[in-house]
Structure 1
Amino acid sequence: MKLYTKTGDDGSTGLFGNYRVGKDSLRVEAYGTVDELNAFVGLAGAGCGDEMMKGRLADVQSRLFELGADLSRPPADQKNAGGKRAEGVIQTIDAGHVKVLEVWLDEVCDELPAMKYFVLPGGCELSARLHVARTVCRRAERLCVALSRHEEVSEHVIKYLNRLSDLLFAFARRANDLAGVADVPWKGKDQK
């Protein structure tokens, strides 16, 4: 099987169910950013020595794959090139997936020292990688919100991304804590 299909040479790409859209569509931008996020979560996981965090990051990657697939579905009222609606089963993100992130977030935060200042991205390398993933997650969330103003997007997709960015922040702090590196405090112009 060849990796290339040439079907996108005209600037279009296929959504689930063989529905074609421009590669610059907001839906493609949203799920493309989720794919980018998944790659950054994988990069963080590759450098993670903490088995609990590494396992949870791997789980997040699977959920992000499903979330991206959900976003690759055309709106319910759209038909493909053959005039048919997209059919088939796509695993979707639901309230239970959001709840899992909340439980993990509470567990991680309970183990960390209280925050007494704003934290800049950085510290140890793993923390910095997790902060990059967090910022890409926020961008994915913003794109999904923008898409939801024009087309159907599951409320759980947006909630999942919102909780995930918080979890990635908490994991970044945990990475610093495990490495014995202090979080990098923000210092305003009047602070030394």
Structure 2
Amino acid sequence: MGNRLSQIATRTGDAGTTGLGDNARVSKNSLRVHAMGEVDELNSHIGLLLCEDMPADVRTLLVEIQHQLFNLGGELSIPGYELLKPEAVLALDEALATYNEQLPRLQEFILPAGNRAASQAHVCRTVARRAERHLVALGNEEAIKEAPRQYLNRLSDLMFVLARVLNRMNGGDDVYWKSERLQQGGQE
């Protein structure tokens, strides 16, 4: 693949528009650009999560997810184009089943907390949900493929499961929510 970015500061966006992959110019405040930005932010948060200590298989999975998120962003930048394949959604389903099977069943709600890696995974989960909401908003206005929305939905679920996996590293556990009634000795 040749050099694609020969100039970073083009100044073409100074008026509040940006170019899409099909050379169309749109407002930087458009639903499509918002969705692209949310996916980019999610990918950046996963990059930050990858700075943490984690099992090699989780690391490999997260790197693959970063590549798929780049595909998703590329798909969003070219209306009508397909880069994120349905097989990517199936891969998340398989990872969800594999990692969730290793965990004890939840009896209570958990807080987005624990060790730093798990806490960052929870941040990724919430950003994935926000990206999904922006993608749904875009889909309400323009035609989009099914796989991107499904991917973000599954990814947020997977990040919840991975947060639990990462909390168990080195003997840790989930941080359970205690309702105020329970803290005051009340009955549920």
TM-score > 0.5 by shorter chain: yes
Q: Does 1:105 align with 2:110?
A: no
Structure 1 segment 2-81 matched on structure 2, within 5 A? 2-74=7-79, 76=80
Q: Provide the residue aligned with 1:188 in structure 2.
A: 179
Q: Given the alignment, which residue of 73, 78, 96 partners 2:87? A: 96
Q: Provide the residue aligned with 1:81 in structure 2.
A: none
* Structure 1: segments with no counterpart, 5+ residues: 77-89
Regions of 4+ moved over 3 Å: none
Q: Given the alignment, which residue of 121, 127, 130 partners 1:136? A: 127
- Report the count of equivalent residues: 178
Shift of 1:49: 2.7
Q: Given the alignment, which residue of 141, 147, 150 partners 2:138? A: 147
* Structure 2: segments with no counterpart, 5+ residues: 1-5, 184-188
Contact 1:112/1:177, CA 8 A, preserved across alignment = no
Identify which range, 43-52 or 119-128, moves more after superposition: 43-52
SS at match of 1:187: coil
SS at match of 1:190: helix
Work out the CA distance in 2 between the residues paired with 1:177 and 1:110.
14
Q: Given the alignment, which residue of 163, 169, 172 partners 2:163? A: 172
The alignment's C-alpha RMSD in Å is 1.2
SS at match of 1:120: coil
Structure 1 segment 118-129 matched on structure 2, within 5 A? 118-129=109-120
Q: Report the residue type matching 1:53 in the other structure.
A: V
Contact 2:82/2:145, CA 8 A, preserved across alignment = no
Q: Report the residue type matching 1:143 in the other structure.
A: H
Q: Does 1:116 align with 2:107?
A: yes
Shift of 1:48: 3.1
